[in-house]
Amino acid sequence: MNYHQFEDTYLLQLISKQDPGALEELYDRHAQTAYSLIVRIIRDSTIADEILQETFWQVWQKASDFSGRGAVAAWLYRIARNKSLDLLRRQKARPQAVETTTEQEETALWSQLDSADSTVEQAVEQRTTRVEIRQALAEIPDEQRHCLELAYFEGMSQRQIAEHTNTPLGTVKTRMRIGLDKLERIFRAAGYQVQDGY
């Protein structure tokens, strides 16, 4: 069977029927990007290899769970990202304080970050070069970019970022909001489709 001719969505349907050839093709298409994301978060190539294998093992086991909404690549990269952040949290082993007063704010924040995540994945799917992505990030002031990276790659809450950077919580919230807005404008200007409500 010539798997190269199939779209990701159909490959995932085949994987849900335990077709190993379809998994190999999906791996060939997306393993390098997923690995790069994992290394960026974990910063350990040996552990990154393990997480990459765990990611595709979950794809093999959970292919039928894909809702069909959005891109398969975005779903796969999110699995890789979540596994990486889970590992970081286990390594830190720090109890997380329950912040009931900011629960809605945290939910809104992660919703925004997921939107940013999807935007980057859209850029990857449209074969945006790494140079262009770096250029987009370089246009965001250091303070804003740093806050977004801590939230996205380190899995920190707004309050943790404030403590880590010795910055008032309100300032952190403002920087993240402005940073996300700037990312949206940069990607729109570059011609990428960004969903409203970003």
CATH code of residue 44: 1.10.1740.10
- Same domain membership, residue 197 and residue 151: yes
Domain that holds residue 71: 1-94
pLDDT tens readout for residues 136-159: 767 888 888 888 778 777 777 888
| Mean pLDDT, residues 51-80 | 88
Question: What pLDDT was estimated at residue 189?
Answer: 74
What share of the chain in percent tops pLDDT 70? 72
Q: How far is CA 75 from the centre of its chain?
A: 9
Whether residue 191 has pLDDT greater than 80: no
pLDDT bracket for residue 125 (50, 70, 90): very low
pLDDT of 184 higher than 80: no
d(CA 15, CA 12): 5
Backbone φ and ψ of 94, nearest 5°: -105, 130
Average pLDDT over residues 161-190: 81
Q: Are residues 106 and 155 in the same domain?
A: yes
Residues 115 and 134 in one domain: yes
82 and 108 assigned to the same domain: no
Dihedral sign, Cα of residue 109, residue 111, residue 29, residue 128: negative
For residue 9, pLDDT beyond 60 = yes
Q: What is the pLDDT of residues 23-37, one digit of tens each?
A: 999 999 888 888 888
Residues 84 and 8 in one domain: yes
Do 78 and 111 reside in the same domain of the chain?
no
pLDDT over 90 at 74, yes or no: no
